[in-house]
Chain A
Amino acid sequence: MNRVPLLALLAVAIAAGPAVAQNVADEEPNLGGEPRYEARDPAYALEHLHPAEGYEVSLFASEQDFPIGNPVALAFDSRGRLWVATMPSYPQRLPDEEPDDKIVILEDRDGDGRADHHTVFARGLHVPTGFELGDGGVYVAQQPNLMFIEDTDGDDVADRYEVILHGFGTEDSHHSISAFTWGPGGALYFQEGVFHHSQVETPYGPVRLVDAGVFRYKPRRFHLEVFVSYPFANPWGHVFDRWGQNFIADASGGSNYFGAAITGNAPYPTKRRRMKVFTSIVRPTSGCEIVSSRHFPDEAQGNFLINNTIGFQGIKQHRVIEEDSGFTSEEVEPLLYSTDINFRPVDLQFGPDGSLYVVDWFNPLIGHMQYSLRDERRDHDHGRIWRVRHGSRPLLEPPEIAAASTPALVRLLESYEDRTRYRVRRELRERPRDEVLAAVEAWLDDVDARELDTGDDANVSDLEHHRLEALWLYQNLNVVEPALLGRMLDSPEPRARAAATRVARFWRRELDDPLAILAARTEDSFPRTRLEALLGLSYLESEPAALAALRTLDQQSDYYLDYVLGETVDTLEDFWLPALESDREPPLLDALAPPLATYLLSRLSTRKLERLPTHPLTDRAVLRRADAGVERQRQALTSLTSGERGGRSVRETPAMLLAGELAELDQAESADPERFDRIALHLMEQDAPSLLAARDEFEALAGNGARQGTRSAAIAALIVATGDPSPANVLPRRRTDDRLIDWLRAVDSLPPALRGDAYPAVSSLFDERRGRDPSVLDAAVRTLAGITRDAGRSFRRLADLVSDPDIGLATLEGLGQLTAEVPDAWPAGGGEDALIEPVLAALRDAPPRELTSPRYRRIHDLGLRIADRRIDRSGGERGADLREEIVNLGAAIVTLRPVPHQMLFDLEEFTVRAGGPVEITFENIDVMPHNVVVTRPGALEEVGRAADAEAERNPAGAEASGYVPKTPLVLFRTGLVQPGETEVMSFNAPREPGLYPFVCTFPGHWILMKGTMRVVERLDGAAITRYAAPRLAPDVPQRAFVADWKYEMLETDVAPLEAAPPASDEELERGRRLFLEAGCATCHQLGGAGGEVGPALDDVRERLGALDTLRHILEPSDEVAEDYLTTLVETLDGRFYSGLLVESNDEAVRIRSNPLDPNHVETIPREEIESLDESSLSPMPSGLLSTLQPSEVQDLIRYVLHAP
């Protein structure tokens, strides 16, 4: 077996697991092994289960004695009985078979550790992916619904089935609501995966969630809310720790999250940004638990356990470590693993006796993609419950819960075991409320009394935990207790304060002033309390809440605090941005401490920032963005220095302000060089008197600035102020080399006239400083080359210096620069001949890598200019020969850009010398990300297909690798270049001449976005070495990014078109233009025009309504036209083919791999094939509508539906 992508993933599991796990991976049917059936006996399975040292594993129940085929989840009731949900109907019912999935109660009546009795509590269920006991019955997933099942007559057989919530997603039955767990406050949590569209009615209004998240349901309030909206794949694990912190396990990616940080308010349909995980990654997982059992060893307490079901099949174990506001972990020895490939642990929980119960789905096939859902080899009969004990410690006496009096039960909340308290809370919810309230009050008094008795600091944490349990109990009973909450918010135990802050979040609607409470917590000394406060504030949806969140900035931050503050402030942008945009008095920014106001402004895009009304802080912020418009910065400068503000007249001049900015930048931790340039640029626009007025400041900066950029800008200001560029005027008498360089750089930034005035002083340096440190002369050459007033004079001076061994190269570079800027700088009578040899020598002697550097580029250009002049003047062959020689001595410099919205590069071909240096600058001026990948000759399609395949098999991994497939066919590559970014890639061209394709491998782009790098042995004399397509205005207008549209965001705009009358001519014309501008016409025919890469759209209106059309455009890969579905083939030697499947038989598979060339068919012999998959990835790019306004989307769809 050589399944590179999958084994790469498995490596993580294998490395951490025992060596023997390797064999399992080889046999794993979900990774390509044959399903194996002999191992159906529980005894065989037990022999192959390997607990960690000191632990023992035994069978509690199996399908041989109980109807527990395909068990999926477990729970323990108040009597200590084990409840199991089974789903043999998975993946879904057949039309002629009534589904009969069950909830079964298992009992061990004789206490021998094995079940000996069972009751079928509920039957006739359909794929119950999750369940939990509570409120006198069972909550169970019945897609698309949540059902509550009760036994009203006490015979342990359900007799009432009530659907209580309708409308959870059903798209993928294994993504549907699962991982049911009670939170400590008595809310039921369950979660669902990607693809799902849920919309559920409640008495408080509809609740919607798309593409994964966690729900929180308060049964007695009938209150449902989205607790987490996060781009999970399928989150199958959720557990709360002793202090109410929750951890969420996402199965597919093996990503385990510190839950709190992603629980902030995310109004539909927004999702949280991706966040880091808190454990190492294994996958796929199912179910997690925290060790909290005195039967388990001390060192295991608090460990995070997670089931893993493919590759490594067992229970992974992580030691959880508190770190800053969150947690990190350290992987320790797995608790258990199996070498029977059918072992599939899918849920686990500590039982009343302190041992760990593990649900084993027992199935050879569990993948939903690798095999048909209806594959006959899926097992529907087997299932086991295993029990893990530790050999050295006795089991615990199961706590009395069902039979306990209410006061005794409340006292049981002092138990060590998390699961005991969990079950006690659940039981107490069913007891008479007044009885429970009385018992809690008595208990709280008792806890207070004990504290007075002992006065012992050591158990403060325990006592505070008891009080926290009491607080949670009130929450369970829907009794808001502000006094106890207040006490816990000020608890000496920081973890209790964090937990109480979360309670305040959930009580926000009932508390008098939740804002005040949460705002005060932003100053807590414990970072997790501050984190919980931020999360709570995100729900208060007001400007004051956003401003309170900012106050966490007054304290130390960390990864999770940064993340949550950013998410909170961004979520609340709608509430604080209007305050910045309004003209209210006093302006919001004045009311905030400057660092807070500055943070707020820092969350805004430069575009939004630039549009804000003028305010000193806004203007300051604009002035400090290197990517802000120069004109807007000029305005900022003007308004910062004119008029009155707050009754005070502003006396600062722009010059003084810029001096201040310069001083501040000089002291900043890091300084973007472009910001010095911007300051210098603005300084040069000030008049001399105002600069002169700030002379002291500039002199101080020129003399004492820590950074060269500071000193030079200040010197330039002084020169403008005095009109005298001579060093004597602006430098101290003792001129170190550094000071001279400062001055030379200052001269560079002067206006041209003043620069010209500096000529004598610059020129004389060459005589004064000859033979000393060449760095000054080097800088002087550059400055001289920039003196373009009387450029001939500068030319001659530089030409004189060419033979200087120290600065010869620099002067050649300077001449290159000068002649590029001022073409008539050349002396009238020629003068270039003397430069030929130095140029040739410089290029010949250059280290090859440096040929792409600016210096050698200029020298090379100078050489070409010399040759061209020679050709012009003599026309002779000598000029041509010289040109050819120079051409072949240089580097190829290529600038490549996408053609906006057209999925093309602006350059189809360029030619480079074999082995010669190449530099490609890729400027992404499009609105979607792209990359540039150079492949081996002829490998374009294979690389493109491999990129698509990897993106499909392992989206996260592909994204991480910039969508560049890991194959030797790729020679050179950029990273993924985001819109507006530029990346430079340098390499030496291959030695082998040939046609080397370059291509964008972002999924789906390769079909169009490609070109050829022609590699030749020797370039001819007329060849060019600089490639840059003219940056012409594209055929269609440039469009700016509007939004990353999702279907739900546009649905209401497009829905009316379903019934719209035929479009008017004007509407059609607008639509036709958008069809071009959005890039549709590049690939699709419509109305007799357009490309033929994708299907023609003329008959769309026959098949699709407006909303379907919208869906197809926004989510192209979610449904691919049959004729455009691709088959992916990976061969044993690691090649990829893909395309339309033309023929498939026992001997070979035939694939049409190039949609643009239907005659080209690849034949791949069966014995060479490693894997064959259908790709669901559309070659059509997504994000095509991101530059359109909603009204334009309407126009476009109208055109698609009604084009003549």
Chain B
Amino acid sequence: MIGCYDPGPRVKKLPALLFAIVAAGASAAEASTLQLRHGDRICLVGNTFAERFQLFGYSESGLLAAFPDLELSVRNLAWSADETALRPRPLDFGAVDRHLEAQGADVVLLFYGANESFAGDEGLPAFRNDLGRLLRHVSKQLYNGSEPARIALVSPIPQQTLPSGHGLDEAAVERRNVELRAYAEAAEAVATENGVPFLDIFDGVAAAFAGEPAPLTVNGVHLNEAGYWHASRVLLEALGASSPGTVVASAEDGAGLEIRPPVLPPGPNGKPDRIRITVRDLVPGYYALRRGDQTLASASDADWAQGVDIQATPAISALVEAGDALRRVVLHKSRLFFDRYRAVNGYYIYGGRKEPFGVHSFPPEMARFDALVGELDDEARDLARSDEVWRLERVDR
């Protein structure tokens, strides 16, 4: 038997509950929409843009908070400088497929195109070809052992000129952005051809660059913490989650509507101080939102349909505190998973020098990492579900 690196336990899954989240304002029937289901294991593959999400935890904690009932979990399998057709790995580390399988991926988010784009126009045909092949391959795999992976392709993001004058100058960045956009467009075309949802965050991130005076990247290409805060919001929106601090509900009958506001992971620039509740389709009338005895806000059905900001301190603080705890657990989990997935001394764990000692030392250590990561998944899922239960009640004016 040729020894192989054991990338970890296959996740044993219950039959997935069909629990489609309908993106606000989007049609549920659209074929190229990513469907998230209960218990989904979401895996990220691709380049450093994807890899760096784990350093900040905004997208993962935001996703968990946005869909607390789905009990999602995330694994970041991205690898610096990966391209659709070039993904060198340490000896016997195993190809991306093997790790997606080990993680039992139900959903795979793919991040490709940024590194490929340096090949310019000349490289576009090869990129289209390689990407198409990759998308067709990944969407056919039964990583979770039972059904084909649901996948989505995420666009590259633009490059930024730094105010410090370091790095590429404005003209060079502009040229790069032309290339990046060309690759983003090619990626979208290939995704559409293959019926794969395409999450276009290029413009969203460009808008964030334009809107923030401080740089959002560390070097023009890789986002910093604030950059990931913005990018995560753009990505979550593309995934059908509403903006943090926004709850959208609808009620045919407004009487006694129960609202569970989401936990609010704080961003890099301070804590959110409000939450916007939007309730559509209320029977005309006047409604109050209550937290126990406390009334958080009162407004007409028309106002609720527009969205009402809640600023009551104790309520928001509780949500922020829980969100912060969630993000800290997510960050801890990410670090543990990274130290296991991309362990140092891989040559002694699974590679050419695993004999004679590594085979004894490391399998138990890796199993322990897996167990700890699993525990933190559970903890994160618990923290993602807020304890707050608010009620919307019809009141007299």
Residues of chain A at the chain B interface (Cβ within 8 Å): 91-96, 126-127, 143-144, 162-164, 166-167, 169-173, 176, 195-197, 199-208, 210, 220-222, 368-369, 371-375, 1047-1048, 1051-1052, 1055-1056, 1058-1059, 1095, 1103-1105, 1107-1108, 1111-1112, 1115, 1117-1123, 1125, 1173-1174, 1176
* Inter-chain contacts of A371 with B (CB < 8 A): 357
Interface string of B316-348 (1 = CB under 8 A from A): 000000000000000000001001101111111
**Which 7 A-B pairs have CB atoms at the shortest separation, nearest pair first?**
A167-B80, A1059-B137, A372-B357, A199-B81, A222-B219, A205-B118, A206-B81
What residue of chain B has the Cβ atom nearest to residue A170's Cβ?
B344
* Inter-chain contacts of A163 with B (CB < 8 A): 52, 55
* Inter-chain contacts of B307 with A (CB < 8 A): none
* Inter-chain contacts of B167 with A (CB < 8 A): 203, 220-222
Contact indicator B352/A1117 (Cβ below 8 Å): yes
Number of inter-chain CB pairs below 8 Å: 192
**Given A164, A202, A1111, which contacts B92 in the complex, CB threshold below 8 Å?**
A1111
Contact indicator A1118/B351 (Cβ below 8 Å): yes
A933 to chain B, nearest CB (A): 27
Contact indicator B80/A95 (Cβ below 8 Å): no
* Inter-chain contacts of A1117 with B (CB < 8 A): 352
In Å, the complex CA distance between A4 and B92 comes to: 33
In Å, the complex CA distance between A1059 and B372 comes to: 33
In Å, the complex CA distance between A197 and B85 comes to: 16
> Contacts A166-B52, A1059-B140, A1121-B3; is A126 near B339 (CB within 8 Å)?
yes
> Contacts A201-B115, A203-B168; is A164 near B218 (CB within 8 Å)?
yes
* Inter-chain contacts of B48 with A (CB < 8 A): 166-167, 201
In Å, the complex CA distance between A95 and B360 comes to: 15
What residue of chain B has the Cβ atom nearest to residue A93's Cβ?
B339
* Inter-chain contacts of B2 with A (CB < 8 A): 1095, 1103-1104, 1112, 1119, 1121-1122
A-B contact pairs, 12 of them (CB 8 A): A92-B343, A92-B345, A143-B344, A171-B90, A197-B89, A206-B115, A1051-B88, A1058-B95, A1112-B2, A1119-B92, A1119-B352, A1125-B355
* Inter-chain contacts of B346 with A (CB < 8 A): 170-172
In Å, the complex CA distance between A221 and B357 comes to: 43
> Contacts A1125-B355, A1174-B355; is A203 near B81 (CB within 8 Å)?
no
Contact indicator A173/B344 (Cβ below 8 Å): yes
User: Apart from A126-B344, A1103-B1, A1115-B91, what 12 extra A-B contacts exist at CB < 8 Å?
Assistant: A144-B80, A167-B80, A170-B345, A172-B353, A195-B90, A195-B347, A199-B82, A1048-B88, A1105-B97, A1108-B92, A1112-B2, A1118-B352
* Inter-chain contacts of B118 with A (CB < 8 A): 204-206
B166 to chain A, nearest CB (A): 4
* Inter-chain contacts of B372 with A (CB < 8 A): 95-96
What residue of chain B has the Cβ atom nearest to residue A163's Cβ?
B55
**Given A126, A127, A1047, A1115, which contacts B88 in the complex, CB threshold below 8 Å?**
A1047
Contact indicator B220/A203 (Cβ below 8 Å): yes
* Inter-chain contacts of A196 with B (CB < 8 A): 90
Contact indicator B222/A201 (Cβ below 8 Å): yes
In Å, the complex CA distance between A1112 and B4 comes to: 11
Contact indicator B137/A1058 (Cβ below 8 Å): yes
Secondary structure at the B interface, as helix, strand, loop or mixed, is loop
* Inter-chain contacts of B82 with A (CB < 8 A): 199
In Å, the complex CA distance between A245 and B73 comes to: 53
In Å, the complex CA distance between A1148 and B355 comes to: 21
In Å, the complex CA distance between A167 and B78 comes to: 11
In Å, the complex CA distance between A199 and B88 comes to: 8
Contact indicator B97/A127 (Cβ below 8 Å): no
In Å, the complex CA distance between A1109 and B377 comes to: 34
* Inter-chain contacts of A1105 with B (CB < 8 A): 95, 97-98
Q: Tell me if B361 counts as interface (CB < 8 A to partner A).
A: yes
A160 to chain B, nearest CB (A): 10
Contact indicator B344/A127 (Cβ below 8 Å): yes
* Inter-chain contacts of B94 with A (CB < 8 A): 1108
Q: Tell me if B47 counts as interface (CB < 8 A to partner A).
A: yes
In Å, the complex CA distance between A369 and B136 comes to: 43
B395 to chain A, nearest CB (A): 49
Q: Tell me if B224 counts as interface (CB < 8 A to partner A).
A: yes
In Å, the complex CA distance between A91 and B344 comes to: 8
B108 to chain A, nearest CB (A): 14
> Contacts A126-B339, A1174-B356; is A95 near B220 (CB within 8 Å)?
no
**Given A143, A220, A1048, which contacts B166 in the complex, CB threshold below 8 Å?**
A220
Contact indicator B85/A176 (Cβ below 8 Å): no
A200 to chain B, nearest CB (A): 6
Q: Tell me if B221 counts as interface (CB < 8 A to partner A).
A: yes
A510 to chain B, nearest CB (A): 12
What residue of chain B has the Cβ atom nearest to residue A1125's Cβ?
B355
* Inter-chain contacts of B1 with A (CB < 8 A): 1103, 1121-1123
Q: Tell me if B86 counts as interface (CB < 8 A to partner A).
A: yes
* Inter-chain contacts of B107 with A (CB < 8 A): none
What residue of chain B has the Cβ atom nearest to residue A1095's Cβ?
B2
> Contacts A170-B345, A1111-B91; is A96 near B52 (CB within 8 Å)?
no
Within 8 A of A (CB), among B194-229: 218-222, 224
In Å, the complex CA distance between A697 and B345 comes to: 72
B366 to chain A, nearest CB (A): 8
B319 to chain A, nearest CB (A): 27
* Inter-chain contacts of B358 with A (CB < 8 A): 372-373
In Å, the complex CA distance between A991 and B97 comes to: 62
> Contacts A126-B339, A162-B224, A1059-B137; is A201 near B88 (CB within 8 Å)?
no
Q: Tell me if B365 counts as interface (CB < 8 A to partner A).
A: yes
Q: Tell me if B298 counts as interface (CB < 8 A to partner A).
A: no
* Inter-chain contacts of B340 with A (CB < 8 A): 95
Contact indicator B345/A1055 (Cβ below 8 Å): no
In Å, the complex CA distance between A164 and B348 comes to: 27
Contact indicator B88/A197 (Cβ below 8 Å): yes
What residue of chain A has the Cβ atom nearest to residue B88's Cβ?
A197
B361 to chain A, nearest CB (A): 4
Q: Tell me if B260 counts as interface (CB < 8 A to partner A).
A: no
Contact indicator A1119/B351 (Cβ below 8 Å): yes
B65 to chain A, nearest CB (A): 25
Q: Tell me if B79 counts as interface (CB < 8 A to partner A).
A: yes
* Inter-chain contacts of A1122 with B (CB < 8 A): 1-3
* Inter-chain contacts of A95 with B (CB < 8 A): 336, 340, 365, 368-369, 372
Contact indicator B357/A373 (Cβ below 8 Å): yes
In Å, the complex CA distance between A1119 and B353 comes to: 8
> Contacts A202-B219, A203-B220, A373-B348; is A171 near B342 (CB within 8 Å)?
no
Q: Tell me if B64 counts as interface (CB < 8 A to partner A).
A: no
A268 to chain B, nearest CB (A): 10
Contact indicator A1108/B95 (Cβ below 8 Å): yes
Q: Tell me if B159 counts as interface (CB < 8 A to partner A).
A: yes
Contact indicator B91/A1118 (Cβ below 8 Å): yes
Q: Tell me if B51 counts as interface (CB < 8 A to partner A).
A: yes
Within 8 A of A (CB), among B231-290: none
* Inter-chain contacts of B343 with A (CB < 8 A): 92, 170
* Inter-chain contacts of A1108 with B (CB < 8 A): 4, 92, 94-95
A190 to chain B, nearest CB (A): 16
Within 8 A of A (CB), among B120-141: 133, 136-137, 140
Q: Tell me if B190 counts as interface (CB < 8 A to partner A).
A: no
> Contacts A208-B88, A1119-B91; is A202 near B221 (CB within 8 Å)?
yes
> Contacts A126-B339, A373-B357; is A201 near B80 (CB within 8 Å)?
yes
What residue of chain B has the Cβ atom nearest to residue A205's Cβ?
B118
Contact indicator A195/B339 (Cβ below 8 Å): no
A1041 to chain B, nearest CB (A): 25
* Inter-chain contacts of B176 with A (CB < 8 A): 203
In Å, the complex CA distance between A879 and B253 comes to: 123
In Å, the complex CA distance between A621 and B377 comes to: 70
Q: Tell me if B308 counts as interface (CB < 8 A to partner A).
A: no
A374 to chain B, nearest CB (A): 4
Q: Tell me if B34 counts as interface (CB < 8 A to partner A).
A: no
In Å, the complex CA distance between A1059 and B353 comes to: 30
* Inter-chain contacts of B369 with A (CB < 8 A): 95
Q: Tell me if B114 counts as interface (CB < 8 A to partner A).
A: yes
